[in-house]
Structure 1
Amino acid sequence: MGKRLTQIATRTGDDGTTGLGDNTRVPKSHPRIAALGDVDELNSHIGLLLCEPLPQDVRELLIDVQHQLFNLGGELSIPGFELLQESAVLQLDQALDTHNATLPRLEEFILPAGTRAAAQAHVCRTVARRAERS
């Protein structure tokens, strides 16, 4: 069994650094830490979206995405460690193609509104774009 967290604050980062899974320390401003935070934030927003009524296939896809984001966070936390498989990326691409095939062609931009689930999905989209950039 892996390490279990027993406290929420270690106080080891008070000097402006944070620990990685390989016991190295990096500045909290390190790009790896920014990316890790973006991936974690996206996972949390997807969790919030899952609190809304969704079609079962979408719900299952989002839960799978959450697991893959957790794996990506693990990779970011432990330099040189690989958890995210290329097959997971291909599976997500295939799911996107399947869902896009059922949608009408967009003629204009869509404003983030409508239902709470739609608005939360837009938040997920924008956080995902930021995570891509980091």
Structure 2
Amino acid sequence: MKIYTRTGDKGSTQIYVDKAVRVDKDDLIVQSYGEMDELNSHIGLLCTMVKAEHKNMLHNVQRKLFQAGFAISASTTLQQDDIDSLEALIDTLTNKMSPNTSFVLPGGSTAGAQAHVCRAVCRRAERAVISLAKHHDVPEVVYAYLNRLSDFLFTFARFVNIEAGVDEAPV
């Protein structure tokens, strides 16, 4: 199968809602997909920077981002348990660190800085999905997942910086 179809050369693409639909590439649905795709790619880059013991956790997040996209289009397995799992990860990591008492500058180690980039991209994806929800049915679990994911990515950034022995720079 060829990677190119030439069907999108004039600015439209096919998506799947309850059936296949052709939309412009700047449609809010496509923009939301794109934001989540960019986030997933940034998390993939983050995976190359972290210890092997953290990769499976991040790969699971990547799989859930695909489920968030499926929720926007046609079907998903994303559910409240996935949000609960992120909260449990946040709590586990938080319990291994001293309390966060101030805003911190994004940065630190290479992995910590990339986790902060992921967090910022996640917030943008969340905003895109919220905009989309004003015009299309989007299950609440999608934007709740993205909201919690940004919290996780902030916590993970702090964690990998501490793990690397890099002090956080307060604002």
Residue 88 of structure 1, CA deviation: 1.3
SS across alignment from 2:13: strand
> How well do the aligned residues superpose, as a CA RMSD in angstroms?
1.7
1:50 match: 47
Structure with the larger RCO, 1 or 2 (CA within 8 Å, 6+ apart): 1
User: TM-score normalized by structure 1?
Assistant: 0.83
Query: Is 1:73 matched up with 2:86?
Result: no
Moved over 4 A (4+): none
Query: Is 1:110 matched up with 2:104?
Result: yes
Percentage of matched positions with identical amino acids: 40
Query: Is 1:18 matched up with 2:10?
Result: no
- In 1, Cα distance between equivalents of 2:10 and 2:92: 48
Cα deviation, 1:27-77, whole Å, max 9, x if unaligned, reads 211111111011111111111111013261x3322111011112222233x
- In 2, Cα distance between equivalents of 1:103 and 1:133: 29
Query: Is 1:32 matched up with 2:33?
Result: no
- In 1, Cα distance between equivalents of 2:7 and 2:52: 43
Residue 129 of structure 1, CA deviation: 0.7
2:159 match: none
Residue 105 of structure 1, CA deviation: 2.3
SS across alignment from 2:20: coil
Amino acid at match of 1:11: R
SS across alignment from 1:107: coil
2:126 match: 132
Candidates 39, 59, 62, aligned match of 1:63: 59
Amino acid at match of 1:92: L
Query: Is 1:94 matched up with 2:83?
Result: no
SS across alignment from 2:101: coil
- In 2, Cα distance between equivalents of 1:72 and 1:115: 29
Residue 123 of structure 1, CA deviation: 0.7
